[in-house]
Structure 1
């Protein structure tokens, strides 16, 4: 098993983990159940920590995959990697806030509620960032989800006459 296989196996943990952690945290906050909030904070911390091996294995996967891709794939890989690196910092913030929230909740600190809400918001933002990273990663091998430019066609599949006219007048 190489880094590519490892990356493909663990890459969905941060995406689904932040979604599940956010849902449980929101439930814990609004139902005022400290045990659920605590469990959510622990899950979110673990997801933040799991982001590191996902990023490391992704770098190894990109290196192993590089000889087999075209220029469009290289561009998508570059965008995927750059966003993943930025999202790692957001994940670290999410994990740090979760730890702080966990501690303030245990100490019954007056900041616990505000910090819990802040953690929930950052976790939701991080989920969005992870989702975008995952979508870019999926586009590397799943060309059917790439956003390709659309050509203007009529029902017979021929190009729009005005587009053809513009093309002919250019020559």
Structure 2
């Protein structure tokens, strides 16, 4: 197994962990269930760890693919936009995870977290989710022509 295989195996984990974190946070905030909000905060941190692992494997995978001979169905020119989007997602997920960690520490020390901070984190997770969705789309376009933009002209 090389980094290409690893990247393909784990590349959906950031998307689904961000989605899971968002659902937990929204339900927890609406139902005023601290346990669900706490779970959402923890999953947001896990999403950042998934982002790190996926970016690390993606960097290695990109180098392997760029140096390889042509592969049927793979458009190497689409790797760079995917890498750039992944960088934006990494930043967004790390900031979100940092905020989640701060909220968890505040809750641990005070016994109660600031609701406004948890709402802010839910919005940050939503933003991260939108960025990772775009990153996933751009990554899919590398090898899936059915999701590539159609240009008529």
TM-score between both structures, scaled by the size of structure 2: 0.90
Q: What is the number of equivalent residue pairs in this alignment?
A: 149
Hey, what does 2:134 align to over in structure 1? 132
Q: Deviations over 1:121-151 (max 9, x none)?
A: 0100000000000000000000111002125
Of the candidates 86, 89, 93, which is equivalent to residue 88 of structure 2? 86
Identify unmatched segments of 5+ residues in structure 1. 152-171
What is the CA distance between 1:102 and its match in structure 2? 1.7
Q: Verify the 8 A CA contact 1:94 1:122 in the aligned structure 2.
A: yes
CA distance in 1, matches of 2:44, 2:12: 14
Q: Verify the 8 A CA contact 1:34 1:105 in the aligned structure 2.
A: no
Q: Verify the 8 A CA contact 2:11 2:54 in the aligned structure 1.
A: yes
What is the CA distance between 1:75 and its match in structure 2? 2.7
Q: Once superposed, which parts of structure 1, at least 4 consecutive aligned residues long, lie more than 6 Å away?
A: none
Hey, what does 2:118 align to over in structure 1? 116
Identify unmatched segments of 5+ residues in structure 2. none
Alpha-carbon distance change, 20 to 145 in structure 1, aligned in 2, over 3 angstroms: same
Hey, what does 2:9 align to over in structure 1? 9
CA distance in 2, matches of 1:105, 1:12: 30
